[in-house]
């Protein structure tokens, strides 16, 4: 029997201790992970915040996995993101994996609004960088990247679920709507 706390408003659903949230860019991973962390009191680990160092320079692979190992050493956490090294090295510690999988039109429009908002408001990103006109519309824009990786990322998420299907991990696939309620963790 688990000693995990019941999720507030979760209708008797026991809160997993270690949740990993995956999905394409703009799918709502960080939003869902933040809400789950707030509800359960578990620390949120944003892989983007771990991966990107000062000036927007990525950490060296070993530094990234070492830092992540430190952050995931505890018994409770909510991770959002899915850098391949992170997934391969640590997803087996999760007792729940949530795949946030809205249609491309939904995730891309969210990403567009978020990116433009960050550019206009000059909001700092990981590593202290900020959006510029060219990072919004240029060839290295997250918007273009999201279109390029959407299909392959969905395939990687499906393969991850297949791999974990018999591993005793709670798997939750959320296609749309309110991800928090759809994931079985209660509504707002």
Domains of the chain: 18-177 (3.40.50.300)
Question: pLDDT at position 178, please?
Answer: 54
pLDDT digits (tens, 9 = 90+) for 17-71: 999 999 999 999 999 999 999 999 999 999 999 999 998 899 999 999 999 999 9
Give the global pTM: 0.85
Cite the beta strand spans of 24-76 per DSSP E: 44-46
Burial of residue 164 (number of CB atoms within 10 Å: 0-12, 13-18, 19+) = middle
Q: How far is CA 155 from CA 24, 28, 160, in A?
A: 10, 18, 9
Is residue 164 within 8 Å of 22, Cβ to Cβ?
no
Residue 33 tokens read as 């992970």
14 phi and psi angles, rounded to 5 deg: -75, 140
Dihedral, CA of residue 62, residue 160, residue 101 and residue 61, to nearest 10: 10
Question: pLDDT at position 3, please?
Answer: 33
pLDDT digits (tens, 9 = 90+) for 124-174: 988 888 898 888 988 889 999 999 999 999 999 999 999 999 999 999 999
Is residue 68 within 8 Å of 90, Cβ to Cβ?
yes
98 phi and psi angles, rounded to 5 deg: -110, 125
Mapped onto helix, strand or coil, the DSSP state of residue 90 is helix
| C-alpha span between 106 and 90 (Å, rounded) | 29
């Amino acid at each position: 029997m688990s000693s995990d706390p019941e999720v507030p408003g979760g209708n008797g659903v026991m809160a997993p201790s270690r949740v990993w949230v995956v999905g394409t860019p703009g799918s709502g991973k960080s939003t869902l992970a933040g809400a789950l962390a707030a509800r359960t009191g578990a620390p949120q680990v944003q892989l983007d915040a771990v991966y990107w160092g000062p000036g927007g320079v990525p950490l060296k692979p070993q530094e990234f996995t070492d830092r992540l190992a430190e952050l995931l050493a505890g018994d409770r956490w909510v991770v959002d993101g899915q850098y391949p090294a992170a997934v391969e090295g640590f997803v087996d510690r999760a007792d729940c994996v949530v795949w946030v999988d809205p249609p491309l039109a939904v995730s891309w429009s969210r990403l567009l609004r978020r990116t433009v908002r960050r550019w206009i408001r000059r909001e700092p990103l990981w590593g202290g960088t900020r959006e510029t006109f060219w990072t919004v519309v240029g060839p290295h824009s997250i918007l273009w990247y999201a279109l390029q990786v959407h299909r392959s990322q969905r395939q990687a998420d499906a393969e991850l679920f297949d791999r974990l299907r018999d591993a005793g991990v709670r798997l939750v696939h959320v296609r749309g709507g309110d991800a928090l309620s759809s994931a079985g963790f209660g509504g707002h």
